């Protein structure tokens, strides 16, 4: 079968080919996988609430009993009509169960499979991509036009308009998982209840955590080599009672994030592409992270990680000097960044 591109999946699902008996939805966006599988399953039958028309199965049970899927697919309904078998995802290999189904044409029955982030060589993906009776449909994180469509759809349904600046900030804060995006939009509309237009203040209020943003600002200053901002932010956190080990832990997590991103860049991906794929990243940090990635290499990040790990250990051994240890370590990182 011809491979389906990610951008063509919605079109394929709007008018499913009646010759296709098995639909595999897979990819890193588990929320989008689940949403599309649910929509396809409910569209494939006359009454989605009828358990004899829409059969739900767990992938783990099929891995333990591969013959069960073929038995369900071959069952002739007592009163006729269309049937759909919706198989929830599993980390186990259910290719043998699906292969048995593909060996014979399905009569008024479709099988919808939720897959994880399957590699090209994953047996289930290979099986469905090669079969004339199956389609493998990739589900990747929303971005660009798709994300704008989700935002416009939900805000319109909620009776909201949105300012241009707020829209830009909102789009930069979302993506990565379809269900998470819908959840964040629902929270935003609940917060803005009673208003007609959503503004930037609403975005900051519902999608940001002031204390975590203050800590992020200190960490960002250290990795950008901005000594003045680092000192000012560190004093503010100390005055608010933030423990030194918490700050060092945040810096260590950031260093690991940068290292993974930098390794991806060294494999050929751009900084912008890598940052766009980061989940939970506040929209105002994205350009800062891109600059960090241009400034640091994988080797210098490994040295920064080693320094942070050593300092965390020191704060446990010399708790009376934890603030001094944290300040010196972050200053050393800022110096590394400037070099």
pLDDT confidence of 166, banded at 50, 70, 90? confident
pLDDT at 251 over 80: yes
- Residue 319's pLDDT is 77
Q: How many domains does the chain have?
A: 3
Low-confidence winner among 32-41, 59-68, 70-79, 323-332 (lowest mean pLDDT): 70-79
- Residue 280's pLDDT is 63
pTM score, two decimals? 0.58
Taking only the tens place, the pLDDT of each residue in 193-211 is 989 999 988 887 776 555 5
CATH number at residue 149: 1.10.8
* Same domain? 55 vs 160: no
**Which structural domain, as residue segments, surrounds residue 235?**
210-338
Cβ-Cβ contacts under 8 Å for 5 (sequence gap 6 or more):
138
* Same domain? 190 vs 290: no
* Same domain? 37 vs 104: yes
> How much is the mean pLDDT over the chain?
85
* Same domain? 200 vs 216: no
- Residue 96's pLDDT is 92
In whole angstroms, give the CA distance from residue 337 to residue 330: 10
* Same domain? 130 vs 10: yes
* Same domain? 24 vs 126: yes
Written as one string, the DSSP assignment of 193-255 is TT-SEE-HHHHHHHH--HHHHHHHHHHHHHHHT-HHHHHHHHHHHHHTT--HHHHHHHHHHHH
């Amino acid at each position: 079968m011809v491979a389906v591109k990610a951008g063509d999946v919605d079109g394929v699902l709007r008018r499913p080919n009646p010759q296709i008996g098995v639909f595999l939805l897979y990819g890193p966006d588990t929320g989008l996988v689940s949403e599309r599988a649910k929509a396809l399953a409910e569209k494939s039958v006359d009454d989605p609430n009828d358990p004899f028309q829409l059969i739900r199965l767990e992938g783990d049970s099929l891995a333990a009993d591969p013959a069960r899927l073929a038995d369900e697919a071959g069952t002739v309904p007592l009163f006729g009509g269309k049937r759909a078998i919706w198989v929830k995802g599993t980390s186990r290999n259910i290719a043998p169960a699906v292969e048995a189904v593909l060996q014979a044409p399905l009569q008024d029955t479709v099988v919808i499979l939720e897959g994880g982030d399957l590699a090209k060589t994953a047996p289930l993906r290979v099986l469905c991509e090669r079969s004339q009776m199956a389609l493998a449909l990739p589900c990747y994180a929303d971005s660009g036009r798709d994300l704008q469509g989700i935002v416009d759809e939900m805000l319109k349904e909620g009776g909201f308009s949105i300012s241009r600046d707020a829209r830009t900030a909102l789009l930069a804060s979302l993506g990565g998982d379809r269900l998470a995006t819908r959840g964040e939009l629902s929270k935003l509309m609940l917060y803005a209840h009673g208003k007609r237009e959503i503004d930037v203040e609403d975005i900051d209020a519902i999608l940001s955590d002031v204390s975590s943003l203050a800590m992020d600002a200190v960490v960002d200053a250290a990795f950008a080599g901005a000594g003045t901002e680092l000192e000012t932010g560190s004093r503010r956190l100390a005055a608010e009672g933030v423990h030194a080990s918490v700050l060092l832990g945040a810096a260590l997590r950031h260093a690991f994030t940068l290292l993974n991103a930098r390794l991806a860049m060294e494999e050929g991906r751009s900084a912008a592409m890598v940052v766009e794929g980061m989940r939970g990243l506040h929209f105002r940090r994205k350009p800062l992270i891109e600059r960090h990635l241009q400034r640091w290499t994988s080797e210098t990040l490994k040295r920064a990680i080693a320094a942070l790990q050593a300092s965390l250990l020191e704060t446990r051994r010399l708790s009376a000097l934890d603030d001094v240890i944290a300040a010196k370590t972050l200053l050393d990182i800022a110096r590394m960044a400037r070099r």
